[in-house]
Each structure stands twice: as structure tokens, then as C-alpha cells.
Amino acid sequence: MQAQIREYRILSKIGEGGMGVVYKAEDTNLNRLVVIKAIHTTLTSSSEIVDRFKNEARLQATLTHPNIISLYNLFVENGVYYMVMEYAEGETLRQRITRVGLLPPHKCIPMFIQMLDAVGYAHNKGIIHRDIKPSNIFICANDQIKILDFGVAKLTGDKGLTKTGSKLGTISYMSPEQVIASKNVDKLADIYSLGITFFEMLTGQLPYSADTDSDYLIMEQIVKAKIPSVKKYYPYVPDNVDLAIAKATQKEKENRFQSCYEFKQFIEDEEIDVSIAAQKREITFSGVVPPKQKPLPQPFAQHKSNFDFNNGMNEISIEKVFAKASFGKRVGANFIDAFIFVILIVLSYAITNASSDPDHNGGFIILIIIIWIIFLIKDGLRQGRGLGKGMVGLRIINFNKKEIIGIGKGFARNLVNGIIYGISYIVPYAGPIILLIIDISLSISEKYKGRRMVDLILGTMVVGDESINIDAYGNVLPL
């Protein structure tokens, strides 16, 4: 191809396939980068193909959406048809999956929602994509999605390569009705292809075997075999996402989501009544929406990842991430403990005074010791959830090891705290007050993460009961 055509200066070739050649170019009139696709002349020998191509290009030019690559121009020069499109920096979803492997739900779902928005917008304009697959989805900065090639009917059978060398291609994303060459192909074929794409994003692989050169064997699986659960490959995918993919990829199109909006609603909305049949993946529900995922608490420590972005996943490491306890809950827990402690002292005093034992003081001291022992071990026996802390939803962890404390640490924490405040009474009144002010200051500080003096000494911390575990990809696991 010549170095310049019309006002477009060709900078480099960025791709080539069955449809033609793709170039990066500069629009010298508007001083902006563009992408130019030169369509092979073999596809323009039929007037029917040319008319359809031109009509669908005009339709794509009407698509103005932040998640769709814009079409700027369509022209013919020396018998060659050219499309001039928006240029975007980034990589295709195919390149991302090849480079990284599976995409974790907290990254994958927001990107997929953008795809649903874009495809749904096109459907509302009467445009069907027909060839949704990772190589036609572009990822820009900040994971913004741009979908390519709207309205361009592709020839089937073009194949790509996974990172392991397994063959796959357009066929692997085709709906059953496309495979059997049904004339009744509509927007629900796009719904199916989106479901397969979503599956691959979350698992790093296709649901049907691509380890074959036989297009027939792949097509037979598409028509007859039910796709496996996403959780088979990555168990931390939310249930509603797994069910959404199962519904979107139903063999009979009337059993799929009937729109991208319905697909999106199922993933995003707040409540769902999933039947036993749905849990068994006999997807027959309609008009229901999924439970809202519990939001992540703001962690005081970031998770560590063993994920190698060059070589893919080495292993999944688990990191415990805890939410700092609020100052209000800490005050509430201390108030409850103090109130219970006073009640027990008053009760024990009443019991010893009512006793016929002349040694009232001895009995009183014994009961006080018993009460003190209870408070010394209470946090350890209940895995960091003492009497007051348990009531307001707090617990104690070993800050350094990121694990819930046992009885030894719980005993030590209460004992050391008692010793600290006992020593403060060397200076009557002023000592305990000063120590209390110091502890309150530490409790509300960001620098010390709400850890009191005893926590700094023993390496402990009071955290919220909503604390979580998180794996190397940022997925929430049960505590």
C-alpha cells in the first residue's frame, strides 16, 4: 500500500487477516491518529457484498457511544474499499487474556458491563454485531472498553491462537443458530457470544474444547453440549455471575436473556430468588435479579499477589485484609465491658456481705480474682471477640501475623492492659487520665491504625467483624 492515500499518511501496519489489512495512520487535515482498514478486493467482486458492506458501515457511523470505536469515513480508491476509524491506545481483550490469563471478577465484571452497555446501545439502533469475541474488544487506559467492527459480517473459520497454542476462532463464539446456519439470527446471537466471552474472561479458556483442528467437532459441542460452570475453573466467581453466563448461553435463544439490559440487570441488581433448578443450572427463571455483592471494607493493609503478568498465574496466595474498627464501636465495647465489670463487683460485694463467713474480705478478694480471670481470658476463648467486642461486632487480631488471636494472646492483652493502667495510679487521678487521653488519641489516629498502647506493645489490633480474607486477585473469601 502507498505511503499516503488521500489525506491519510500511513504510519505502520498493525494487523492483517481474512478481511483485509489494518494500518495506523495520521489524518493530516485534522492532525489526529486513525485506523484504516483496507478491505480485500476479493470481497468486493460481488455487488451484493459491496451494498451490504456500505449499508452496514453507514449504520455503524450512527453509533456514538464511549465504548464503541467510531467510524469516521468510508471511501473507495482504485477499487479498494477503506474504512477510517477511531484510533485507541491499548490492547485487545485477546491480547490481555493471552498475556495475563483469567481476569478476576473485580476487574472483569466492570469491563463486561461496558460491553453490555455498548452492544445494548447498538441493538437499540437495530445493529447486530454478529462476531463478538476477544479480538474485537479493545481495552484502553483505566480498563475502558472499546468494541470494534460493528455491523461488519465476517467470514467464519478464521482462527486465532491461545497462549498454549490451542486453536480457536470465530466459531468458538458462535451461537447454536449461527452454527446451524439458521436464517433467524438476531441480537440474541450477540447475547450468546457475550456469554462465551465472559466465560473466557473469568477462566482464561473457552468452555468447549479447542484442542482440535475439526470445526465440526467444535460446532457439535456448541449445538449439543451444555457449558460447564465457571466455578469449575475458578471457584470464587459470584453465584449470580455463574448463573448469568449459563442463562446467556442457553441453546434455545428464547431461554436466554432477551436484551443486554436484562443481562446487565441480573449481574448488578440487589435481590434474587434463585430456585433449586437454577442452582442446578437448569436455567428457566425470568425477570429476577441477583443479590448485591457485599462491598469490600477499606483495608488497612493491601493484599500481596503472586501473580506474574508475564508468565500468567503461578499460584493463588491468600492474604487476610481487615477493616479498622471504628472509634464509636471501640468506645461502645469498652463501655459494655466496664458496665459488666462494675455489675459483677457490686454483685460479689453483696454476696460476701450477706455471707455468714466472718472473713468477708477474703471472700470478696476471691470473687474479684475470679472476675478478673474471666476478663483476662475472655478475648482468647472467643477468638478475639470479648464480651463487649462481640456485642458491637469487633474482634482482636495479631497485627503482624494477620490472624485472629488465641487464648494466650487474649490473656496477655488483658493482663498487660491491666498492668499499664495499674502503674498509672502511681500518679493519682492525673496518671489514669493522661493514659486514657493517650489511648483515645491512638484509637482515632490513622498513623497507628486505631491501635492502643497495649496493641502497640503486643502487636495486636481491634478490627471490624466485617473483615475479610482476600486472594491474590482481590477476590473476597470467607473469613
Q: Which residues are catalytic?
A: 131
Q: Please tell me the distance from the alpha carbon of residue 229 to that of residue 222, in angstroms, as a whole number.
A: 15
Which value, to the nearest 10 degrees, does the dihedral of the CA atoms of residues 172, 232, 319, 451 take? 110
Across 338-347, b (16+ Cβ under 10 Å) vs e yields eebbeebeee
What nine digits make up the cell of 248? 446467556
Short-list 306, 307, 214, 198, CA closest to 248: 198
Query: Between the CA of residue 294 and those of 109, 206, 403, what are the distances in Å?
Result: 15, 29, 22
Q: Please tell me the distance from the alpha carbon of residue 184 to that of residue 177, in angstroms, as a whole number.
A: 7
- DSSP letter at 213? S
CB 105, CB 238: distance < 8 Å: yes
Short-list 152, 2, 5, 1, CA closest to 77: 5
Q: Please tell me the distance from the alpha carbon of residue 253 to that of residue 187, in angstroms, as a whole number.
A: 10
Find all residues with CB under 8 Å of 238, minimum gap 6, and list them.
105, 290, 293
Find all residues with CB under 8 Å of 161, minimum gap 6, and list them.
167, 168
Short-list 430, 436, 470, CA closest to 453: 436
| Residue 449 burial (CB count, 10 A) | 18
What nine digits make up the cell of 427? 500518679
Please name the amino acid found at residue 469: N
What nine digits make up the cell of 261? 439490559
Short-list 189, 209, 232, CA closest to 102: 232
Short-list 262, 225, 219, 224, CA closest to 244: 262
CB 286, CB 309: distance < 8 Å: no
What's the full length of the chain, in residues? Answer: 479
Residue 142, classified by CB atoms within 10 Å of its CB into exposed (0-12), middle (13-18) or buried (19+), is exposed
